[in-house]
Amino acid sequence: MIVNEEIVSVNKNQGEKNQKSILVIADLHKRYDEGKPKEVHALRGLDLTVQKGDMMAIMGPSGCGKTTLLNMIGHLDKRSSGKISIDGMDTATLSDSQMTAFRRDNIGFIFQLFNLFPFLSAVENVETPLLLRGVKAGVAREQAKMLLRELGMGDRLYHLPSELSGGQQQRVAVARALINQPAILLGDEPTGDLDSTTSADVMALFRRINKINKQTLVLVTHNRWIAEQCDYIVHMTDGRVSSIEQGPFKKEEPPK
């Protein structure tokens, strides 16, 4: 699998540094099974600010709250307390139905297992979010095709996920997450199942998306090399941010 785009410099254009915050998290707490004996205090007063167009990695030991944090940012689950603003919108002020629409329009998810519909072709998988939004079928199909072509998948439009390689499936998943042009893309180990060459291709793709569309990427990873493809690394311990390691990092070949 080949990604033709040049590796984009990690060095940000300084003129873009004074952007507004896309995500502000303040004193965020998440308790599972609150008030019960088995209560788990997964996020313990987490603070984090992410600027528009940042590409950041989250690292930390298993159980430190990385997935919980992504679920909070994606509003897939309710926080216990604390503040989350996305693009200036305090999300606590939104009703459930407003939140559903806000999430659909602003946040994209790239899951490790791709979550593609197995009986839908690549193009059908990608157009689904548009159809759910009420976009006309012909228009949705054209947009899905355009995006897949842009991702080098023009000759695989009508293949089923089972007929695609892992890297190709991941591109379909990326296309599906991108089709609504969400301001924030969230990935939990998005390259977890891929070999190192394919991981490198997918990271180059993320870098390109980030650079061209100024979309913000938040990627959880255990892989140091993957993390170093981002602008900076947020380290988590015990439900909090313990440190932030600022890039740019040294460019190295992916480990074999």
- Using CB under 6 A, list all residues that contact ligand ADP: 32-33, 40, 42, 60, 62-68
Dihedral sign of CA atoms 245, 173, 154, 156 in order = positive
Q: Taking the complex as a whole, how short is the minimal distance between the CB of residue 104 and Mg ion, in angstroms? A: 23
Partner interacting with residue 203 (select from ligand ADP, Mg ion, none; CB below 5-8 Å by kind): none
Query: Smallest distance from the beta carbon of 64 to Mg ion, in angstroms?
Result: 9
Q: Of 16 and 27, which has the nearer Cβ to ligand ADP? A: 27
For residue 163, CA distances in Å to 128, 178, 198 come to 19, 22, 17
Query: Least Å distance between CB 111 and Mg ion?
Result: 11
Q: 40 vs 204, which CB is nearer to ligand ADP?
A: 40
Tell me how far, at minimum, the Cβ of 220 lies from ligand ADP, in Å: 7
CB of 59 closer than 8 Å to CB of 233: yes
- Spatial distance between the Cα atoms of 248 and 11, rounded to a whole number of angstroms: 6
Question: Least distance (Å) from Mg ion to the CB of residue 58?
Answer: 10
Contacts with Mg ion by CB under 5 A lie at 66-67
- Alpha helices by DSSP H, listed for the chain, are 66-73, 96-106, 122-132, 137-150, 166-178, 196-213, 224-227
Nearer to Mg ion, 189 or 231 (CB): 189
Dist. CA 133–CA 232, nearest whole Å? 34
Residue 208 interacting entry, from ligand ADP, Mg ion, none, C-beta within 5 to 8 Å by type: none
Alpha carbon distance 100, 79 (integer Å) = 15
225, interface contact from ligand ADP, Mg ion, none, CB < 5-8 Å by kind:
none
